[in-house]
Structure 1
Amino acid sequence: MRLLHTADWHLGRSLGGHSLHEDQAELLAMQLPAIIRDTAPDAVLLAGDVFDRAVPPAESVRLLDEVLSEIVLRHGIPVIVIPGNHDEARRVGFGARLLAAARLHIVQSPCGEAIPLQGRDGSSATILACGYATPLALSREPSLAGAQFADHDGAFAALAPLLHALCPASGPRVLVAHAFVAGGAESPMSERALSVGGTGAIGADRFTGFDYVALGHLHRPQNLLGGRLRYSGSLFPYSVEEADHAKSVTLVDLAADGTRQIEEIPLSPRRGLRVLTGSFAALRETEGPAREDYVALVLTDPTPVPEAQRRLAEIFPRIVGLRYAAERAGSGAFAPAGAAARVARPLDLFGRFHAEMRGAPLPGEARPVLIAAIEAAEAAGH
Structure 2
Amino acid sequence: MALLVPALLLVLVTPAWDACNPHKPLNITWQLLGPRGNLVKQISRVSPPGVWFPDIVFDLCEIAGPDWLDSSGALGCSRKKDAAECLQKASFYVCPGWDRLMAWNCGGKEDYFCKKWGCESTGHMWWLPPVTTDLITLRREQDSVPANPCNRYPCNILHPEPIPHLCNPVRIVFTDQGKKATGWERGKMWGIRVYEGSHPGTLFTLRLVATAPTAGGQNPQEIGPNEILNQPAPPFPPPKELGCPQFIDNLRRARESLAKVRERLEKREHEQAQARFGDSWLVILISVLLGYLLVSVILLAFIRKRSSTVQLSEPQPQSIPDLVKETPPESGTQASERDTLFLNLEPGKSTLILKLVPKENTLLLESEPVKEICPGPKTGA
TM-score tier (shorter): under 0.3
Which protein shows a greater Rg?
2
TM (norm. structure 1) is: 0.18
TM (norm. structure 2) is: 0.18
